[in-house]
Amino acid sequence: MSRPVPPQVIPRPPAWRPGEPPPWADVPPFDRTGIGIDRVLGALAGVGQHGPVPDDIGSDRVLVPAVLVNESNAPVLRRVNAGVLAAMFEEHGETRLILTRRSSAMRTHKGEVSFPGGRLDDGEDPVGAALREAFEEVALDPALVEVIGWIHPVLTMVSGSLIMPVLATVAARPHVVANPDEVERVFDV
């Protein structure tokens, strides 16, 4: 018998406003399908985020917009202290992305939909943390993962973590299993 899953609560900063329409808003629905890994790689290359995480982003301090961290309007330098793995695979011509629903028993980010990931251990870089955490949370074998790119670090509102999303591919649908201590569900979209 499965436990009921409580609704996800997404905290927002006081100055939160709806964002602009997504980049694909004007793309006809038919053209939004059939997006394979090659198209994703091309898009990453087009914005300079295909390849290894640059040293000056992944391990040094990153400028964070002041509106997210303080009230003084002064930008803040923060160190990346967490890594998450956005692992993709292709199935039937479509890129699939692995996500988790965090356990409602966790201290922070309870019940949130997220990428597998977590805080960096001493001496660890964001890529190492993302791979280690994906193995711990969903049993994704790091030997099956090919790191292909990165996204600029993002700051969480709940824990103040500066997270480096690491983009990766696996050759085929991986066998993943949710670690019940950390993850209520693992799924792909």
Distance CA 105, CA 123 (A): 28
The helix/strand/coil state of 26 is coil
- Model pLDDT for residues 142-184, shown as the tens digit of each residue: 999 999 998 888 877 667 778 889 999 999 999 999 999 999 9
Q: What number is the average pLDDT over the span 119-139?
A: 94
- Cα 42 off chain centre by: 19
Reading the block at residue 49, the tokens are 């985020």
Whether residue 41 has pLDDT greater than 80: yes
Q: Give residue 43's identity as a one-letter amino acid code.
A: A
pLDDT band at 75 (very low <50, low <70, confident <90, very high): low
Q: What number is the average pLDDT over the span 29-41?
A: 87
Q: Which are the contacts of 78, defined by CB distance < 8 A and separation ≥ 6?
A: 61, 62, 64, 69, 155, 162
- Cα 71 off chain centre by: 27
Whether residue 67 has pLDDT greater than 60: no
Name the more confident of 178 and 109.
178
* Contact (CB, 8 A) for 156 and 43: no
pLDDT recorded at residue 76? 62
* 55: enclosing H helix or E strand: helix 55-58
* Mean pLDDT (the chain, rounded): 83
Topology (CATH level 3) of domain 34-188: Nucleoside Triphosphate Pyrophosphohydrolase (3.90.79)
Domain ranges of the chain: 34-188
The helix/strand/coil state of 129 is helix
Backbone dihedral angles phi then psi of residue 136, each to the nearest 5 degrees: -65, -40
pLDDT band at 25 (very low <50, low <70, confident <90, very high): confident
